[in-house]
Amino acid sequence: MPAGIERHGLFSATCPDGIVGRSVPVGWRSVGFVHWAYDPSTVARLLPPGVSVDLYGGRAWAGLQFTTVIPGRSHGSGASPLDRLPWRPRLRPQFDEVRAVVAVVDRHNRPGVWYLSLDTNRRIVAAGLRRWLNLPAYEAESRFSSVDGRFEYWTHRPDGTTARLKLTVGPTITPTDIDRFLTARWRIVLPPPFWDGPDESRTMPIFHEPWILHRASVEFVDDELLVAAGLPPATGPGQALWSPGTTVDIGLGFELGRRLATMEGC
């Protein structure tokens, strides 16, 4: 069986699907992307059945996304169960996230991301993502800074696992196919415990305006997050991009909203 699926240029810079029902707006600011190419079979073994590697140029792509998150209040049909969770009022102000991700497609060949891990400097966020979405989230120290077009991102877990990235950001670009492939990922694919219900519960759709992207050069990168997740050490500086950010609507859908509403503390 093939280790992945190649979509041959079907990389939309705009969200192909709308969000029906409840959604949560989240600001992602000062987003640093760095990705590396891998052998598809190496990445495929980290994925559950029903999730396939999304190939570009015959290669699998995994990487790191560094961003500052600004939580918003949900909107849509009624209040979201997330707004009633005990930890929800404490999500302000902003916090940092570092996501180790793989470019994947779901069983309907829709592009998305699979989270190998998610580090955040907000303990309550890490605990909530583990409990309610079963994501591999970790509390970690982090430090993001910028001076004169140079951006530095750093995260450090209690067990010593770290990642550090220094970027020099250039002018705005017109995205190429590979840029759209790496950044226009329109779903978060959730781990298998959500798969015993309707297909809707397997992903969380993401909607946002097209990324404003800048080409970036990597001054320094040191990654232990992808290695900790089971990938071999990355080679080379990687494919680097930077964005000032955007506002993202993350869809909950009926099934996920129902599950959250029935959990203790809601």
Residues ≥6 apart with Cβ < 8 Å to 209? 14, 246, 247
Measured CA distances, 70 to 46, 78, 82 (Å): 30, 21, 15
Cα separation, 226 vs 45, whole angstroms: 14
Q: What are phi and psi of 253, to 5 degrees?
A: 75, 165
Of 36, 39, 32, which Cα lies nearest the Cα of 62? 36
Cα separation, 203 vs 19, whole angstroms: 12
Domains in the chain, please, with CATH? Answer: 21-261 (2.40.400.10)
206 close to 251: Cβ distance less than 8 angstroms: yes
Measured CA distances, 55 to 103, 150, 207 (Å): 8, 31, 22
The 3-state DSSP class for residue 93 equals coil
Residue 97 pairs in a beta bridge with 67, 120
- What pLDDT is stored for residue 258 in this prediction? 54
Cα separation, 127 vs 139, whole angstroms: 8
60 close to 239: Cβ distance less than 8 angstroms: no
- What pLDDT is stored for residue 71 in this prediction? 84
Helices (H) then strands (E): counts for the chain = 5, 14
- What pLDDT is stored for residue 107 in this prediction? 82
Of 144, 148, 123, 150, which Cα lies nearest the Cα of 65? 144
Of 216, 218, 209, which Cα lies nearest the Cα of 247? 209
Residue 103 pairs in a beta bridge with 113
Q: Where does residue 235 rank: exposed (0-12), middle (13-18), buried (19+ CB within 10 A)?
A: exposed
pLDDT per residue, tens digit, the chain (266 aa), is: 467 888 776 677 777 776 767 788 899 999 999 999 999 999 999 998 889 999 999 999 999 999 999 987 554 444 444 444 444 545 557 899 999 999 999 888 889 999 999 999 999 999 989 988 889 999 999 989 999 999 999 999 999 999 999 999 999 999 999 999 999 999 999 887 655 554 555 888 899 999 999 999 999 999 999 999 999 999 888 999 999 999 999 887 645 555 555 444 43
Dihedral angle sign, alpha carbons of residues 165, 169, 172, 177:
negative
State which amino acid sits at residue 66: F
Angle at Cα 256 formed by Cα 252 and Cα 261, nearest 5°?
105
- What pLDDT is stored for residue 77 in this prediction? 45
Residue 248 pairs in a beta bridge with 26
